[in-house]
């Protein structure tokens, strides 16, 4: 038994690992693809040379479909697009930008295109641009986030009513029960970030992985609404931004506090005080650093149990 | 077929209408109970005399179980508690306060007690205090909200792992598919606010109901984090608070802007410019002012369809 996401992306299991900066290298992507999901390489934190290297290593490490996530606001996005075309990467997820810019070009080169959206408006735009599927990413997601702050529960329900192409749910998902809940709302796949960011195969620093599994409810919050809403894990960097926002800091002041290279410092170098720690709200549910293999086993088992438990639910309300 | 929430609350359908200020009078509560759900009278906006009047009218309008929601921070809460005991109201939902204050007293008087929580900590506290069930209310909910900003999708999943008593999901729910999604996460009932606030039987002003059904994605936002996080619909009052927060207004300044009687002015008197419009994120999904009867028909049909559609889902991931 299969669904449209599995068919379009040529995968067995409709679980996609998000293409996260400083986490999603060839090792994580190929491991996810080897488990039957779709692994994404996160181009957002890579220059051209590094991206090419990760694509080549990923090709060697898996015979299954994998993809690359390209944030379109990134100044390197046009050269990243050239690389994925040249390297015949089978799937590209685009995010943070206009879906009409590269969709046709990628499709003309036989690449499946999925665009990440946080609202109805961009979902319709992406569908119109001809993408094969969309990711609907809710308020729970780590890092950059939609201005509407629509949660995954509300967003997927809304999108399903207006969108015909398949929908992948993202934001706040780390269990098999949640995957089934998203399928009930009409999603045909899920994109999971935080859980894979904390996995053995993630290229994030162990300090960052430990910070994820030790986090508690309320430990991630959405800040930086005046610039681009961003979900951050609490820590020294968070405290500085929060203090500035509470006293009414301007965009310019906030940009100065952010500086450059802070997400690398936090996620890749493990400096939890000075670094920018982008991660999802669902971190509070994650209790262990697991291998990708164990994550897939856990999710599959939870999903199957939850699906068979639907027999015990009230038949008519 | 039945579940624990139906048994404990002695209702046929595990759908509860939230006890909302200026919306949830005897008419809404009795209509919901007459449809087989649990209607709640919202004591938060009532003095003793008004509450007593609504309880008496509700008793005359329905033979089914109904309840009263009592926000414990309200200065009138202790006299409200005396009234529900004296009037033998079968169910009391307590919120915004310490669940151990009145739970035993209410139970000693044969009243079922449900406490509303927004995080794990208070869920455990409520269970320990001996409540019969909890409402887990997520970030999507209208009005006062948890500091953690945990969404319903994440919250219900978390609570199910640590709580043994039945869980009612709230926040962001206005469709039958969403009800089933919450059941999949382990909830045994749902509390619905915005959809009932916009119903014919809600005592809110028609201007407020129209504002709900005309709202679009992003039109409600959580503000007032420095005082008590509150989800508001955009309008004149919202703009004033937002402008003040953006320039770093203190608690004192915010309290002065809020003033008194603003939720009555907005919700009950329909003054959309000066009034405080407390409503949930799911408003953007709601398109019509419906009768409670039609709301129940819609939710039941959507739930049944979604449940039978689970047959078409991928059996194993």
- What torsion, rounded to 10 degrees, do the Cα atoms A287, A293, A297, A300 define? 100
**For residues A119-126, average pLDDT:** 98
Whether residue A149 and residue B221 make contact (CB cut-off 8 A), yes or no, is yes
| Residues above pLDDT 70, as percent of chain A | 100
Q: Same domain, yes or no, for A293 and A278? A: no
Which residue in B121, B153, B158, B246 has the most chain A C-beta atoms within 10 A of its own C-beta, making it the best mutation to test that interface?
B153
**For residues A270-287, average pLDDT:** 98
In this predicted structure, what is the pLDDT of residue B2? 84
Rounded CA gap, B187 and B24, in Å? 23
Residues 6+ apart with CB under 8 A from A137: A116, A117, A118, A145, A146, A152, A155, A170, A171, A191
Rounded CA gap, A42 and A211, in Å? 21
Q: Same domain, yes or no, for B41 and B149? A: yes
Q: Same domain, yes or no, for A60 and A141? A: yes
Is B136 domain-assigned?
yes
User: Which tens digits make up the pLDDT trace of A82-96?
Assistant: 999 999 999 999 998
Q: Same domain, yes or no, for B158 and B82? A: yes
Rounded CA gap, B151 and B141, in Å? 9
The chain B residue lying nearest A181, using CA atoms, is: B181
The chain B residue lying nearest A3, using CA atoms, is: B314
Q: Same domain, yes or no, for A297 and A249? A: no
User: Which tens digits make up the pLDDT trace of B255-299?
Assistant: 999 999 999 999 999 999 999 999 999 999 999 999 999 999 999
CA distance A121 to chain B (A): 9
Which residue in B145, B170, B181 has the most chain A C-beta atoms within 10 A of its own C-beta, making it the best mutation to test that interface?
B181
Is A192 domain-assigned?
yes
Q: Are B169 and B180 in contact, with CB atoms under 8 Å apart? A: no
Q: Which helix (H) or strand (E) holds A231?
A: strand A230-233
**Residues 2-21 (A) with a CB less than 8 A from some CB of B:** 2-3, 6, 13-15
Is B208 domain-assigned?
no
Number of domains forming the structure of chain A? 2
Backbone angles phi, psi at A282, to 5 degrees: -70, -5
Rounded CA gap, B291 and B81, in Å? 30
Is A251 domain-assigned?
yes
In this predicted structure, what is the pLDDT of residue A2? 84
Is B1 domain-assigned?
no
What confidence category does residue A311 fall into, taking pLDDT thresholds of 50, 70 and 90? Answer: very high
The residue among A13, A95, A54, A85 whose CA lies nearest residue A203 is A54
Whether residue B184 and residue A13 make contact (CB cut-off 8 A), yes or no, is no
The stretches in chain B having pLDDT less than 50 are none
In this predicted structure, what is the pLDDT of residue A1? 58
3-state per-residue secondary structure call for B161-190: HHCCCCEEEECCCCCHHHHHHHHHCCCCEE
Is A210 domain-assigned?
no
In this predicted structure, what is the pLDDT of residue A124? 98
User: Which structural domain range is residue B271 located in?
Assistant: 215-282
Q: Which helix (H) or strand (E) holds A191?
A: strand A189-192
Q: Same domain, yes or no, for A58 and A180? A: yes
User: Residues A43, A44, A50, CA angle at the centre, nearest 5°?
Assistant: 45
Reply yes or no on whether the pLDDT at A50 is more than 70.
yes
A148 to chain B: which residues are within 8 Å by CB? 217-218
CATH code of the domain containing B92: 3.20.20.70
Q: Same domain, yes or no, for B184 and B232? A: no
Q: Same domain, yes or no, for B132 and B271? A: no
CA distance B46 to chain A (A): 31
Rounded CA gap, B95 and B72, in Å? 6
Q: Are A163 and A183 in contact, with CB atoms under 8 Å apart? A: no
Rounded CA gap, A147 and A150, in Å? 8
Count of residues in chain A: 317
**For residues A158-176, average pLDDT:** 98
CA atoms within 13 A on the CB side of A171: 32
Q: Same domain, yes or no, for A160 and A238? A: no
CA distance A248 to chain B (A): 4
Is A2 domain-assigned?
no
Rounded CA gap, A140 and A114, in Å? 20
Q: Same domain, yes or no, for B123 and B87? A: yes
Residues 6+ apart with CB under 8 A from A82: none
Q: Same domain, yes or no, for B29 and B147? A: yes
**Residues 159-178 (B) with a CB less than 8 A from some CB of A:** 160-161, 172-173, 175-178
Is B67 domain-assigned?
yes
Q: Same domain, yes or no, for A180 and A39? A: yes
The residue among B307, B29, B40 whose CA lies nearest residue B178 is B307
A117 DSSP β-pair partners: A136
């Amino acid at each position: 038994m299969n669904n449209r996401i599995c068919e379009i992306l040529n995968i067995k299991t409709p679980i996609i690992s998000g293409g996260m900066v400083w986490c999603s290298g060839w090792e994580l992507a190929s491991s996810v693809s080897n488990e039957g999901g779709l692994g994404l390489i996160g181009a957002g934190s890579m220059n051209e040379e590094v991206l090419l290297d990760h694509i080549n290593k990923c090709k060697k490490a898996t015979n299954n479909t994998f993809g690359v996530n390209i944030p379109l606001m990134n100044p390197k996005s046009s050269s990243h697009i050239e690389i994925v075309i040249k390297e015949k990467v089978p799937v590209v997820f685009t995010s943070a930008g206009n879906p009409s810019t590269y969709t046709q070009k990628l499709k003309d080169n036989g690449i499946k295109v999925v665009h990440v959206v946080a609202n109805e408006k961009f979902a319709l735009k992406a569908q119109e641009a001809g993408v094969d599927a969309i990711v609907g990413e809710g308020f729970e997601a780590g890092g950059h986030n939609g201005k509407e702050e629509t949660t995954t529960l509300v967003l997927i329900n809304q999108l399903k009513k207006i969108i015909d192409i398949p929908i992948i749910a993202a934001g706040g998902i780390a269990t098999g029960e949640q995957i089934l809940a998203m399928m009930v709302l009409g999603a045909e796949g899920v994109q999971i970030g935080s859980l894979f960011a904390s996995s053995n195969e993630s290229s994030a620093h162990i300090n960052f992985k430990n910070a994820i599994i030790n986090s508690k409810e309320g430990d991630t919050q959405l800040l930086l609404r005046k610039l681009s809403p961003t979900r951050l894990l609490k820590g020294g960097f968070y405290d500085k931004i929060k203090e500035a926002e509470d006293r009414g800091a301007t965009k310019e002041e906030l940009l100065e506090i952010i500086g450059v290279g802070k997400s690398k410092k936090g996620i890749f170098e493990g400096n939890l005080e000075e670094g920018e720690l982008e991660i999802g709200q669902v971190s509070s549910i994650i209790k262990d650093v697991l291998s990708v293999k164990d994550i897939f086993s856990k999710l599959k088992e939870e999903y199957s149990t939850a699906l068979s438990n639907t027999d015990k639910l009230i038949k008519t309300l």
